[in-house]
Structures are given as C-alpha cells and as structure tokens.
C-alpha cells in the first residue's frame, strides 16, 4: 500500500516560469516531509523539508507548502532553471524516521 503518492509522473515547464510538484499522503501519523532531487545515474539528494507544525518552508528558489487537512504538500520552484531538470521524490516520515517515498515526478525545464 503506497502511502505517499505523486500522481504526475512528469512535468514540462519553460525556463523562468514556476514549477509546481504535488504530493499526497494517506498516513496521518506522518509529521515530517522531505523532497529529494535525483539526476540520472546518481543517488537522490536532499532538497528541502517541512515539519508538520509549519505550513510553509522556503529556501531560495524552492518553497514547500503543507496542507495537513488535505494531506497534501507541494514544491514550488521559481524561477525554473535548466539545471532543475531531474526527478523529484516526495518522502514522508513519522517518529520512527523511516522514509516512505513517492514514485517521483520528472521535471523538464525547456529553454
């Protein structure tokens, strides 16, 4: 049973515009959420995270929004750059710190 879902397998966006990636979860015990970025032939690297006590966390061009009532989070990248082309994984954890991952969204930034 997949507890973290990324329903959009891919996203194409023009350079300079906003990329919005969505993630839904089913486990109400999740209290910490992370986004990872992965280039081909490399391991995922941590991008940004948010605790359930917050509804927004911003780091440069990246902002994560959390809507606990809807069990939904999103990652905004603005402005999008060619180097942002990668696979983005949403992950969630509860107090055991074991991560559950979504299937990933492939982002392509067009010049």
Partner 1 sequence: ETGVTQTPRHLVMGMTNKKSLKCEQHLGHNAMYWYKQSAKKPLELMFVYNFKEQTENNSVPSRFSPECPNSSHLFLHLHTLQPEDSALYLCASSARDTPGYTFGSGTRLTVV
For partner 1, the binding residues (CB under 8 A) are: 2, 4, 9, 32, 34, 36, 41-46, 49, 89, 93, 97-99, 101-104
| Beta carbon nearer to partner 1, 13 or 92 | 92
Longest dimension (CA), the chain: 42
Output DSSP code: residue 55: S
Q: Tell the smallest beta-carbon distance from residue 61 to partner 1 (Å).
A: 20
| Beta carbon nearer to partner 1, 49 or 57 | 49
Q: How far is CA 71 from CA 2, 56, 62, in A?
A: 14, 14, 20
| Beta carbon nearer to partner 1, 1 or 111 | 1
Kindly give the pairing relationship between strand 105-110 and strand 10-14.
parallel
The 10 Å Cβ neighbour count of residue 9 is 10
Q: Tell the smallest beta-carbon distance from residue 93 to partner 1 (Å).
A: 5
Q: Which of 13, 64, 71, 78 is nearest to 35 (CA)?
A: 64
Q: Tell the smallest beta-carbon distance from residue 32 to partner 1 (Å).
A: 5
Q: Tell the smallest beta-carbon distance from residue 69 to partner 1 (Å).
A: 22
């Amino acid at each position: 049973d997949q507890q973290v879902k990324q329903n959009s397998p891919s996203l194409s966006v023009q350079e300079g515009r906003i990329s919005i990636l969505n993630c839904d979860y089913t486990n109400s015990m999740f209290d910490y959420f992370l986004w990872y970025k992965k280039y081909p032939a490399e391991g995922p690297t941590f991008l940004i995270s948010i605790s359930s006590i917050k509804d927004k966390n911003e780091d440069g061009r990246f902002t994560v929004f959390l809507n606990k009532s809807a069990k939904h989070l999103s990652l905004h990248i603005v402005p999008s750059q060619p180097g942002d082309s990668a696979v983005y994984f949403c992950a969630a954890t509860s107090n055991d710190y074991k991560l559950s991952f979504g299937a990933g969204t492939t982002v392509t930034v067009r010049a």
